[in-house]
A and B are shown apart, each in its own frame.
Chain A
Amino acid sequence: MKITQHPVLSNRAYLTAYVGVWAVLTWLLVVLIHTSGAITMREATELLVPMMALYALIGLSTWYICKATPVNSTRDLRVFVTHLTAGFVLSFLWMHAGALYARLLGHSTRFYGMEERYAAHQTMLLLDGVLLYLLNAGFFYVVIAVEASREVERRAAETVALARDAELRALRAQINPHFLFNSLNSISALTSIDAARAREMCLLLADFLRLTLGMGERSMIPLSEELDLLEKFMAIEKVRFGARLDMQEDVQEEAKHCLIPPLLLQPLLENAVSHGIASMADGGWIRLAAQVENGTLGIIVENQRDDEAPPRRRSGGVGLKNVRSRLEARYGKDATFRVEPGEDRFRVSMSLPAEVGERK
């Protein structure tokens, strides 16, 4: 909230509370003055209502003092001294303004001798004024606390929204619409040919999507988890391409425990399928290898391709660029990323520090 935005003036609920509290305080003061003698209820009311209205109006400025001396960041004693001083100054001024008003009223026969009678109450009014000031300051501290907690809530919600947004964007980038629609088409075909396989395919697709969704939230995952995801992905593609797809995996046991950014390899496998296998009428192989050597995790994704194949519209460049920039962002110079297009094969290799996470 900006300092220029006064909560009581900009928020109807605070305004109502402020006026309400002051009305009650006015009534209490009226009764107090009356019982302490020499002033009738009516006189007290006519004297104090304008005075209290004035004080309430001036009291709005207390907000700025409260903003400037937040309770949680300044030493409590200093806060108290600040407010006590401010309270005395303000109350003193207020009391004298009241005296002026009382003298004015004294000219009327109805309020005969008001000036003297007011003078008798001055000390009490001064102390009441200080008390009122402190109450007012208390009110504003409550307002500040409420606003702060609202701000925290709002910011937390915003952070969650941002994270979710990033995840969705990642998901949209990761999941090629081609993949999704073709998978749905396969399911549609299987429903009448082989219902059990259709159901299996639905489950595979659901598992794959669920795994992808969950991964976006984490910064690092063990390679074994990424492999699980890839397994689902390749199982789905296997339904589409059948014998045309030959997946070869050669992953060292030690490498499986290494941590990698989630969804790092999935785009590479997807490229290998859509640019490799899908372009070969009789199919081909995809090879995924990973191993740890001298504290470095090396990963290779390689696929066969047909160099005479029609160019694919959704070029793999986007996916490759994405993987490269993620590696750079995470590891800087400690990671390498190489793309080697060949005549009949396409190879992507990378190396990154082999980090093994503590198991929770």
Chain B
Amino acid sequence: MTKAEKKVRTLVVDDEELARQVLRELLGAHPEIEVVAECRNGLEAVKAVSEHKPDLLFLDVQMPKLTGFDVLELIGSETPVIFVTAYDEYAMKAFDVHAVDYLLKPVGKDRLAAALERVKTRSREKPPVPAELALAARPAGQFAERLVVKDGTRVTLIPVAKLDFAEAQDDYVALASEGKKHLKQQTIASLEAALNPQQFVRIHRSYLVNLERVTRIEPYGKDSRVAVLSTGVRLPVSRAGYARLEALLEERG
């Protein structure tokens, strides 16, 4: 390695002190790696990423506050991530499908070297879509219980029960909850897929609504309708959306 070559600025995220120590020790054998910060949980990780702009992230999956998947969702897919997990069959399956490298604890030096090599060669490839990865890591029949949103450096957790509706805005969705709107980089289709279809209905190409909030459906114009929410908000209902809504209400009785 020549001096001119840039060091790989690396972040290690794990809630266990010993787990961080062993990773740091193993990374010590790779002079091109420079550990710029260590984080004890997902929130610290999100903050540290915007602060340090690292070139590489070692991310534990199960952590307090935010999981590794939450962190990935919030920081986007520009930073290469190597997940580190002890055992999580769904996560491992998701990694395999979406081609992110992951290490299993206890981590060995050969496997770590291979992962670093993979990051080098893969940096030119298309990175995985975080939302897709998170979706694949969820066992079938289990839906998101909360959504994570980042406003600048602030991270907001929205329990799905507190989500009134979501509105598509180009590559973003605006999440309406408790009188506020939070922008999140995600398509409305992938958000719909993550939520319980018994609770959230796509009433319109651009709108996903929490059924609990709908008080009534009113006719609007010739053959279109609007849904009136308990918050007073009126949302357009398309013909296909109305059919879905009817089917669901019928199912519920």
Contact = CB atoms under 8 A, between A and B. Distances in A.
Nearest to B137: A313
Nearest to A197: B18
Interface in B43-75: 43, 62-67, 70
Contacts of A309: 64-65
Q: In this complex, which of A180, A182, A187, A278 has the most chain B Cβ atoms within 10 angstroms of its Cβ?
A: A182
A184 interface: yes
A193 B23 CA distance: 12
B106 A188 contact: yes
Interface stretch (B83-91, B166-174, B210-218, B243-251): B83-91
Nearest to B108: A188
B7 to A, nearest CB: 23
A342 interface: no
Interface string A162-200: 000000000000000110111011111110110000000
A180 B105 CA distance: 10
Interface in B1-48: 15-19, 21-22, 25, 40-43
A308 interface: yes
Contact of B22 (A178, A189, A308): A189
A188 B87 CA distance: 16
A189 B88 contact: no
A185 B105 contact: yes
Interface in A186-222: 186-190, 192-193
Q: Is the interface of B mostly helix, strand, loop or mixed?
A: loop
B66 A310 contact: yes
Nearest to B68: A310
A10 B95 CA distance: 56
A279 B64 contact: yes
Interface size class, chain B? 20 to 34
A184 B16 CA distance: 13
A193 to B, nearest CB: 6
A312 B62 CA distance: 8
Contacts of B19: 182, 185-186, 189
A240 B66 CA distance: 19
A177 B89 CA distance: 10
Nearest to A279: B64
A274 to B, nearest CB: 8
B97 interface: no
A242 interface: yes
Contact of B105 (A181, A281, A306, A313): A181
7 contacts: A181-B87, A182-B16, A184-B105, A241-B16, A279-B64, A309-B65, A310-B62
Interface of B: 15-19, 21-22, 25, 40-43, 62-67, 70, 86-88, 90-91, 104-107, 139, 145-146, 157
